[in-house]
A = this chain, B = another copy of it.
């Protein structure tokens, strides 16, 4: 196998969220009866059930009215919009940024992640990745020919912090890790790193000169009025070594516009812009105009969104806790749950396919988020409330039917 064939063999996307339609299910290895019910696709949020920020269509059309000036922005995005964003994100993160130096608009947060990794990782570089964490993180390390150094998140061992193994992180840093990439809240578990964990990560990164890319995509949707600490604002770390990634695709349901933002290190932002010039030029010009509504939602809108999701979480956790042999840590922020199931007779991939075909429920297998999660699956519960609860009951039924 050539090196490029090998590389692409590691980028399999069959189980990636949204790609399930490409799975080969001609011959299902698992024999279970059909279970009727409203189909639910837990692989991503349902923006028809939880609609985009009101006014997005108008904001987009205003962008179109601006014509060429909005179609052809600088690669890093329209200066007007960056100025607005810099003020709002300074307020949100507690870290003072300059619109012209510390901020870049990207095609979705996925775009920001790719650019940040491309700006920092070259062949042979060691990159620390949390397990479990967002499935694309590991693929990015492979694509840039980095060396993946895993660090465990012991999310079932505590409910006071995320559970990162800080000793393992320090060992990794000591052994030459150059870049640390992680999400907070963690995807797939929905747990938040405590103030204390963030402080320690900052101190370790500073001590060993490690660059940190932190994905804060779901950091606005905090449940139970929890605290949230932004790493870049921590005084123990030099912010020139940090890139924070955030965007309006999740809580705000604007995924269809493909908008993301990276903020932090001026040097890394400059590299990211150079890379964006050859990757996609810029986030769609007209779409950028929609960012004016972000962090500027109608009064009460965010509060309602958080409350409705917290209510769904509560019901799903209740159903899971009542089932036999399931284990779940309640989401602290965002819309993910990552339950562990009891032992079943078939491999996880077969279970997931059967679930989709026979019970109309799409979930993402735990193995997408790291090795060793063969008994876990992720759901994005930003769905119709009742449909989500019913679908979780069907998941439990299928597990029951397949138990060892």
Q: Is the CB of A280 within 8 A of B108?
A: yes
The yes or no answer to A221 lying at the interface (CB within 8 A) is no
Name the B residues within 8 Å of A271 (CB-CB).
8, 11
Q: Is the interface of A mostly helix, strand, loop or mixed?
A: helix
Q: Is the CB of A277 within 8 A of B19?
A: yes
Q: Is the CB of A8 within 8 A of B119?
A: yes
Contact residue among B4, B71, B256 (Cβ-Cβ distance under 8 Å from A122):
B4
Q: Which of A24-54 contact B (CB under 8 A)?
A: 44, 46-48
Q: Is the CB of A256 within 8 A of B64?
A: yes
Contact residue among B107, B120, B256 (Cβ-Cβ distance under 8 Å from A71):
B256
Q: Is the CB of A57 within 8 A of B61?
A: yes
| Shortest beta-carbon distance from A180 to chain B in Å | 16
Q: Is the CB of A279 within 8 A of B279?
A: yes
**Segment from A160-168, A281-289, A312-320 that makes contact with B:** A281-289
Copy number in the complex reads 2
Name the B residues within 8 Å of A1 (CB-CB).
none
Q: Which of A53-79 contact B (CB under 8 A)?
A: 56-57, 60-61, 63-64, 67-68, 70-75
Given the contacts A13-B277, A139-B278, A255 and B122 also touching, CB distance less than 8 Å: no
| Shortest beta-carbon distance from A278 to chain B in Å | 5
Contact residue among B18, B70, B274, B280 (Cβ-Cβ distance under 8 Å from A111):
B280
Of all chain B residues, the one with the shortest Cβ separation from A44 is B72
Q: Which residues of A contact B (CB under 8 A)?
A: 2-4, 7-8, 11-13, 16, 18-19, 21-22, 44, 46-48, 56-57, 60-61, 63-64, 67-68, 70-75, 107-108, 110-111, 113-114, 118-123, 136, 139-140, 143, 145, 255-258, 271, 273-275, 277-287
**Interchain residue pairs with CB less than 8 A apart (5):** A12-B274, A108-B281, A114-B280, A143-B278, A258-B285
